[in-house]
Chains A and B, each alone.
Chain A
Amino acid sequence: MKTLSLSIISASLLAAMASVSAPATATDMKLKHDSEYVIDGKIYGLPEAKVYREEYNGPAVVGDYLTSVPHLAKLDYEGNKTHDVRMDVFSQQVEVAPGVSYSAWTFGGSVPGPVLHVREGDRVIFKMKNRSDEDVVITKPVKNGAPFFQQIQDNPYQKNQPVINPMPHSMDFHSGTVAAEDKWRTISPGETIEFEWIANYPGTYMYHCGTSSVLMHTAMGQYGAVVVSPKDGYPTDSDVDHEYVLVQSEHYLEEAAEGNYIYNHGAALDRKPSHVTFNGHVAALSDTPLRANEGDRVRLHVLNAGPSGTSSFHVIGAIFDRIWYEGDPRNEWYGMQTVLLGASNSATMDFIVPEEGIYKLVDHEFADAELGAAGALIAGPRQQK
């Protein structure tokens, strides 16, 4: 009887809590448009995208939480936030290997494009102008631009140079849940698209151009990562010493003139890449290795952008202590030597740096490693914490 009363009490307490928390949750969700609704705490029903023309020649990447790979901006706010993000689309000559440059189609001027960091539940108001028919310089100081620019300028390993190559483009954020034919629609050179999405699910997500031929548009360089940190974090957050973003991708290039390469669609269809890179250059993470110290917990957000290959991601000398497949904290694995990522799969993974030394990061599909999918983390001596 006593047990029964207790359970009745606790049940009514739960009910009371539920009735209190239900409206509070709705308020917290910050529904903004009449069209929006909530299922399982996630917001859907965003308004239609707008496409228009604007006189804009300001910074091509705008937003406090946009960085260049391998950097990840720190989320210095509590709870949720609305992010005003701009990432223009334009062409850029980029180097992917010593002496190998091509006229890339890019978001923000680099391959991969900028990393966007938000928190689960955040709203993103996204703007993108198709500036593919104009010169856009990203290697000179930019006022009111994202931290991305300073990081590119500190380490311009792709030797980014503006080129003009007009082409219709679009933006498809895997981190958004929307009607693709609306938000991800293609815009012509000179047009701007503006739409919103909610970071409903935590994880590391690909974004890319979805304009046909999507194989060509992605292989030409139009992809990047969005990191959506879980609202309650990962279990090891307080122990993490360093956090980096890696984007693996294949390049299908052939030489057209000395040092000047062009896209090879036949090779892309045959899945025979000329180069496979981490962060867009065969030497990105060996010329500028990741840094940590003995005993540190290092967290990597690894995205395999493809467009068509897989990545068997491995760190030589380490074992992944925790792995959250696709970056969702509910997809937790332990103790893995290699994490297999299909095209557009990702994983967030922690490992302990066992000793001072050099830890090579590789795609353990060694044909890919031989084509460039290799880098390094250099660990210094153990620090007192």
Chain B
Amino acid sequence: MVKWLGVAGVLFSPLILADPVLVTGGTFEPPVLLDKQRLSIEMNSFMLDATPVTNQAYLEFVSSNPRWQRDNIAALFHDGNYLKHWDNNTAFAQGKENEPVTYVSWFTAREYCAAQGGRLPSLNEWEYASMQYRQQQNISDNDYARKLFAWYSQPHSKQQTVNPNADQLMHMHDRVNEWVDDYQLLLSNGDDVDLLSGSCGDGARFMSSFTNANYATFFRYQSRSDYAPQSTTSTMGFRCAYDLENHDE
């Protein structure tokens, strides 16, 4: 723990790029019980990008990794719409530099993060960070739920810019839905995968309490888990996580 705090001090100093930011470990009580036997989870500290990855950052990635450019990517890794909103392999419309990159598949998001020395956050890491963000920003449970359902039901505000130099977590709930490493939801029943989690309206068995906030969170888990790893849409983006050891080096 002492070592991590030291790392945090270094990372928050102005000499270092502001993002990613430290998410301090602690106890996570998952709003959605993926495993009904685990009501709380001890989380390690980790680093997480402050904002979703931008078009500009992604452009730098594909510029130095041509095989992940739109015309070169293996068909296996996307659904045919990869970066379809860009003008070509290495250009997008002016003014979109700081918008979250979208039309990226789970495969390509993973590849991007690996190239940065990171990885996609796990679902628990992302949700744990989301909880911390709500506390930091003092977002009430009801405001969070309304904001999230509004985002899902109202597409107009999705392509807004982010501040790529943010020094704290931002835009966890109002820009894009984000890929996580283990996004394909496998609700478990003891040792068994729950077979009914895909059917109508039976989410209640997996909720720790029936608050609007938990319904909103469950909807994020569930709607994302229906995507294929090849899926690319105008609303799926991502941010990367980093193990502290890597950043210590």
Residues of A within 8 A of B (CB): 53, 91, 102-103, 133, 163-168, 172, 180-181, 185-186, 188-191, 210-216, 220, 256, 260, 262-266, 269
Contact = CB atoms under 8 A, between A and B. Distances in A.
A167 B233 CA distance: 9
B95 to A, nearest CB: 19
Contacts, number: 105
B142 A266 contact: yes
Nearest to A185: B198
Nearest to B197: A212
A163 B155 contact: yes
Contact of B152 (A167, A181, A185, A211): A167
B231 A189 contact: yes
A166 B153 contact: no
Contacts of B216: 265
Interface string B207-245: 000001001101100110011100101111000000000
A265 B141 CA distance: 13
B81 interface: yes
Contact of B223 (A102, A167, A260, A265): A167
B66 interface: no
A53 B232 CA distance: 13
B201 A213 contact: yes
A164 B155 CA distance: 7
Given A213-B215, A216-B219, A262 B155 contact: no
A113 B234 CA distance: 25
B28 interface: no
B94 interface: no
Given A262-B154, A263-B153, A269-B212, A168 B223 contact: yes
A178 B212 CA distance: 33
B167 interface: no
Contact of A212 (B149, B201, B227, B234): B201
A58 B146 CA distance: 36
A188 to B, nearest CB: 5
Contacts of B79: 53, 188, 190
Interface string B148-181: 0110111110000000000000000000000000
A180 B195 CA distance: 12
Contacts of A185: 198
B72 interface: no
A265 B149 contact: yes
A369 to B, nearest CB: 26
A50 to B, nearest CB: 15
B200 interface: yes
A190 B153 contact: no
A263 B149 contact: yes
Contacts of B218: 212-213
B25 interface: no
